[in-house]
Amino acid sequence: MDKSEAPAAKTGKAGTAGKTGKAGTAGNAGNADLAGPAQPARPAKPVRLGKPVRLGKPAAKTGSADAVAPVRPDPPRSVVIAVRLMYAGAAVTAVGLVISVIAVATGEKALRASHKHATLAQLHATQNFLITIAVVSGLVEIAAWLFMARANRGGLKWARIAASVLFALSTWSFVSHLFGAITIGNMIYSAAMWLVGLGAIFFLWQKESSAYIS
């Protein structure tokens, strides 16, 4: 009894294994049919690299930012008034220049009276020379007024000193004219120019002007 049952048991295990193997194979085949044919693998897309980034020099940027000069504040009221007076001086000088040229051009009788022995050609040469001197000196004086106005508006220390020196020279010239031969027109013009310069210097040396000028 024991020997006959042992082979039967082994046969049963073998049959079970065979059925299981076939079932597994059939199941795999069925799944393969449902999934369809295998798809070929797609090649990977090449990675596109961007343009190389050029790195700047942070040290140079920092240096340029530090090199920016501080913004100067607006000039105070006293400096603005002084600058306007200087512009007025330039305008008065221009008017005086025109008057001087007209006076020389139309003053042939006065020129002949002061040069009695001169010929007509000599009188014309002297007249042209006086007109040239009047134009050149007038333009130089106008340029000086405008330059001083611009420099003092910028708060330059040397400009205030230069304006003071020029006013001292104009004062000496005005006083010297008082003791010489001078007409009423020249007297009025010289006095007006001196007063304009005096006002400009007065406002340039105010406390708020000194705080602004460096």
pLDDT digits (tens, 9 = 90+) for 47-56: 555 555 455 5
pLDDT at 171 over 90: yes
As a whole number of angstroms, the distance between CA 164 and CA 158 comes to: 10
pLDDT at residue 126, as a whole number: 86
Quote the percentage of the chain above a pLDDT of 90.
42
pLDDT at residue 119, as a whole number: 80
pLDDT at 9 over 60: no
Q: Is 73 exposed, middle or buried (0-12, 13-18, 19+ CB in 10 A)?
A: exposed
Can you read off the two tokens belonging to residue 126?
């002297």
Report, as an integer, the average pLDDT of 64-85.
78
Residue with the bigger pLDDT between 80 and 179: it is: 80
The confidence band for 127, taking pLDDT boundaries of 50, 70 and 90, is confident
As a whole number of angstroms, the distance between CA 202 and CA 182 comes to: 27
- The lowest-confidence range among 70-79, 81-90, 128-137 is 70-79
Residue with the bigger pLDDT between 69 and 169: it is: 169
- The lowest-confidence range among 14-18, 47-51, 56-60, 90-94 is 14-18
Mutual orientation of helices 120-153 and 77-106 as an angle, nearest 10°?
170
| Mean pLDDT of the chain, nearest integer | 76
pLDDT at residue 155, as a whole number: 92
pLDDT at residue 29, as a whole number: 41
Q: Are 184 and 48 in contact (CB under 8 A)?
A: no
pLDDT at 28 over 50: no
As a whole number of angstroms, the distance between CA 153 and CA 94 comes to: 21
Domain residue limits, the chain? 77-212
pLDDT at 42 over 50: yes
